[in-house]
Amino acid sequence: MRDFATLTPRGQTRRLRALARDALRQFGVDPPDPRQPARLSLLGNWENATFKVEPLTGPFAGQRLLLRLHRPGHQRRDTIASELLWLDALRRDAGLQVQRPIATPDGRAIIEADAPGLPAPRLCTLMHWIDGRFARKARPHHLHQVGALTAILHNHAQAWTPPPAFVRDRWDPPRLFDPVLWNLLPLEHRPLFQSLAERATEAMEQLAQDPQTFGLIHADLHMGNVLFHEGLIIPIDFDDCGFAPHLYDLATSLTAYRLNPHLPALREALLAGYARHRALPDLQHLDLLGAARRLSLLIWSSSRALDNPAFLPILPKITAAAISAAQDIIGRPSP
C-alpha cells in the first residue's frame, strides 16, 4: 500500500473517507447496516479534513452535520476539549451562534478513529451544521460586522474565567515562525524574512505585557471562517484559537486585502465595527502583524505541502504574497 503522503488528493480523500466511516459509526450516525450510510462530502483537507455529513437514518436523519478529522500532531485531546469549552461559553454567555458538538452514545465529544493506509489514527469531532453563506466579495459592511464580532470575542475572553483544564497554545513568535521549518523557505529571501520575524517578535513581546492587548483570540478570523445568515454573522472554525495580541485578529481579517484598491474603506469599516464594542488597541503594529501572518502562512503551507499535494498549486502565490508583504515592512533590496 502506497504511503499516504505520496497519494494524489483524490487518493488521500479515499482513505480519509474510510476513517470518517469509522468515526461516524462511533458517533452513532452510521448504522451497523452498511447499506444506508450517511452521505459524505469533502469540504476541505487543509489543516484538518472536514466532511459534510447527511445521515439517511437514525437520530440525525435529514440533518446536516460537520465531521472534523484532526490532523495528527496538530491539536491534542486536551486542546480540542478546550476549544469546545470556549464554544460552549460563547453560546451561554455571549449568546453567539457557534458550532455545537455532538457526543457519542456513551458521552464522548472527541473520539479516535483509524483506517488502513493512514500514518496514524485521528482524533475526530462531530458538530451540528450551521446555515449561512460566505461573503465571496467582501464589502465594507461585511468587515464592519467582522470587527464587531472580533470585539465581542475579545470582550468575552477577557471576562471569562476558563476552568482549570483549559489549555490552548500561544501564537507567539516561536510558533508563528517555527525555526525547525525555516529551511523550507526560499533561500534568497530568508534574510528578508528573518528581519521581519525579528521586528514582529519585538512587537508581539511588547503587546503580550498588557492584558488589555493580549488574550484568548480566534486567530484565524478571515472571510472563509465567518458565515452570514439572516442578518447575523457567525464565527466558525475555532481550531486555531489561542493566546496572542488582540491586534493579530484584526491583522488576520485584513490580510487578504493588502493589495485591494478598496483596502482603506475595508480597514476603516473593520476598525469602526470593533470600536463599537471595545476600545481599539494601538494600531501601530497592525501592518507588521499582517506581514507576520503572511510569513506564518508560508511556513505552514510549505510544511503541509510535504505530505499534502493539495498545497503544491497554491504555494507559489502564498510565497509571492509573503515576500511582497515583508518587503512593504522591511524595504526592498537594492538592485
Note whether 166 and 95 are same-domain residues. no
Cβ 257 vs Cβ 138: under 8 Å: yes
User: What are 215-239's pLDDT values in tens digits?
Assistant: 999 999 999 999 999 999 999 999 9
Note whether 29 and 145 are same-domain residues. no
Identify which of 139, 124, 131 has the alpha carbon closest to the alpha carbon of residue 263: 139
Contacts of 77 (CB under 8 A, 6+ apart): 110, 123
Q: What is the domain range of residue 145? A: 140-330
Note whether 154 and 120 are same-domain residues. no
**Mean pLDDT over each residue of the chain, to the nearest integer:** 95
Which of 128, 153, 183 is the last residue before a domain boundary?
128
* pLDDT higher than 60, residue 335: no
Which of 102, 128, 154 is the last residue before a domain boundary?
128
Cβ 118 vs Cβ 15: under 8 Å: yes
HSE (side-chain half, CA atoms, 13 Å) at 152: 19
Q: What is the pLDDT of residue 35?
A: 78
Tell me the three cell numbers of residue 317: 502565490
Cβ 198 vs Cβ 61: under 8 Å: no
Alpha helix stretches (DSSP H) within the chain: 9-26, 77-94, 140-159, 173-176, 190-207, 246-254, 263-275, 286-304, 315-330
pTM: 0.95
Residue range 300-305: mean pLDDT, rounded? 96
Q: What is the pLDDT of residue 333?
A: 59
Identify which of 291, 32, 270 has the alpha carbon closest to the alpha carbon of residue 135: 270
Residue range 295-304: mean pLDDT, rounded? 96
Which of 103, 128, 153 is the last residue before a domain boundary?
128
pLDDT band per the 50, 70, 90 thresholds, residue 1? confident
Q: What is the pLDDT of residue 332?
A: 66
User: What are 191-209's pLDDT values in tens digits?
Assistant: 999 999 999 999 999 999 9
Note whether 14 and 41 are same-domain residues. yes
Q: What is the pLDDT of residue 33?
A: 72
Note whether 225 and 151 are same-domain residues. yes
Of 55 and 335, the structure prediction assigns the larger pLDDT to 55
Q: What is the pLDDT of residue 243?
A: 97
Considering the chain, what percentage of its residues have pLDDT values greater than 90? 94
In a domain, 134, yes or no: no
Note whether 322 and 260 are same-domain residues. yes
d(CA 300, CA 47): 9
Report CA-CA distances (Å) from 294 to 5, 167, 182, 253, 326: 25, 26, 14, 12, 8
Note whether 177 and 323 are same-domain residues. yes
Residue 42, beta-bridge partner list: 51
* pLDDT higher than 60, residue 334: no
Report CA-CA distances (Å) from 254 to 115, 250, 258, 319: 39, 7, 7, 18
Note whether 171 and 206 are same-domain residues. yes
Note whether 105 and 222 are same-domain residues. no
Residue range 165-194: mean pLDDT, rounded? 94
Residue type present at position 88: D
In a domain, 92, yes or no: yes
For helices 190-207 and 315-330, give the axis angle rounded to 10 degrees.
70
| E strands present in 103-246 | 111-113, 122-128, 214-217, 226-229, 232-235, 242-245
In a domain, 133, yes or no: no
Residue range 89-101: mean pLDDT, rounded? 96
* pLDDT higher than 50, residue 69: yes
In a domain, 335, yes or no: no
Domain at 110, CATH number: 3.30.200.20
Number of domains within the chain: 2
User: What are 31-64's pLDDT values in tens digits?
Assistant: 877 778 999 999 999 999 999 999 998 899 999 9
d(CA 77, CA 8): 29
d(CA 134, CA 181): 32
* pLDDT higher than 80, residue 249: yes
Note whether 73 and 174 are same-domain residues. no
